[in-house]
Amino acid sequence: MAEKTFYVLSDSVGETAELLAKAALSQFLNVDMKIQRIPYVDDEATMVDAFHLAKENDGIIAYTLVKPDFRVKMLELSQQFNVVAIDVLGPLLKQLESHLNEPPTLQPGLVHKLDEDYYKRVEAIEFAVKYDDGRDAKGILKADLVLIGVSRTSKTPLSQFLAHKRLKVANVPIVPEVEPPEELFQVSPEKCIGLKISSEKLNHIRTERLKALGLDGTANYAKEERILQEIDYFNKVVDQIGCDTIDVSNKAVEETANVILRKLKM
């Protein structure tokens, strides 16, 4: 038997109808039915094509169309082709209109309308990924904020957290054997924050990290002598830059982020 198809039509991207279709189908454990999304439905021809497909493939249709005339046409086509078509959005709009005593705007895609704030957040997240862990020093000069610290001071998760606050964050690991990029000394000290951590806490974090990777917890990476060497070098770099520091020894990422946001008066 050919696999049945569940067609979801929408005048926008169709994500809502597809999620509902998946949720409904998940309750039928012995049914093998694929979902095919048909987005941006804006003419009768697309609807007719969808019904032809559903008829040929023994499928059904669910749709989220906000325009009343489109929904009426879907009902007519359902009867004409003898194909089940489920209006997901129409009854809810009707009930809300009655309860709120206010007509809907009937504008497709409002739930996915992208505003300026959304774009800034996405741009900041992409920036944090691109300029993570010092992989491209050019990002230092473009960043709203630069985080520096030795390994395992939560630079990456903190950069991502702040990106959701629309901050473009670059982070740079400080390692004794690697000269910091010259761009780090060209930015304003006010745009740079050093992440301090106690040697005891860092030793614990690194030891657990090694164990999680199935490695020897006594490796040089977690040794007290090595850690003290890194922290000493970090302090020298911080002094050279002249930037503020935050002790992250006993802080969750969210706590550190809030301290930074207060510093930046955001």
* Domain range list for the chain: 4-112, 116-263
Give the least confident one: 102-106, 193-197, 260-264: 102-106
Distance CA 65, CA 50 (A): 14
153 marked as binding residue: yes
pLDDT band for position 1 (cuts 50, 70, 90): very low
The 8-class DSSP code of residue 179 comes to P
For residue 231, what pLDDT is reported? 98
Helices within the chain (DSSP H only): 15-25, 44-56, 68-81, 90-100, 116-130, 138-142, 155-163, 199-212, 224-241, 253-263
For residue 217, what pLDDT is reported? 76
Closest by Cα among 63, 60, 6 to 40 = 63
Distance CA 185, CA 241 (A): 6
Tokens representing 239 are 């002094």
191 marked as binding residue: no
For residue 216, what pLDDT is reported? 83
Whether 117 has a pLDDT exceeding 80, the answer reads no
Q: What is the pLDDT of residues 134-169, one digit of tens each?
A: 999 999 999 999 999 999 999 999 999 999 999 999
150 marked as binding residue: yes
Helices within 64-115 (DSSP H only): 68-81, 90-100
245 marked as binding residue: no
Distance CA 64, CA 66 (A): 7
Whether 108 has a pLDDT exceeding 80, the answer reads no
Whether 173 has a pLDDT exceeding 60, the answer reads yes
Q: What is the pLDDT of residues 30-82, one digit of tens each?
A: 888 899 999 999 899 999 999 999 999 889 999 999 899 999 999 999 999 99
Mean pLDDT of all residues in 196-208: 96
CATH topology classification for 116-263: Rossmann fold (3.40.50)
**Hunting for tokens 């761009």 — which residue is that?**
183
Mean pLDDT of all residues in 78-107: 90
The CA-CA-CA angle for residues 2, 7, 12, to 5°, reads: 155
Question: What angle separates helix 253-263 from helix 155-163, to the nearest 10 degrees?
Answer: 60
Please give the class, per CATH, of domain 4-112. Answer: alpha beta
- Is residue 172 helix, strand or coil? strand
pLDDT band for position 109 (cuts 50, 70, 90): low
149 marked as binding residue: yes
Distance CA 29, CA 252 (A): 41
pTM to 2 decimals? Answer: 0.60
Buried b (16+ CB within 10 A) or exposed e, 146-165: bbbbbbbbbbbebbbbbbeb
Distance CA 151, CA 142 (A): 23
Decide: residue 115, CB within 10 A, 0-12 exposed, 13-18 middle, 19+ buried: exposed
151 marked as binding residue: yes
Domains 4-112 and 116-263 share a fold: yes
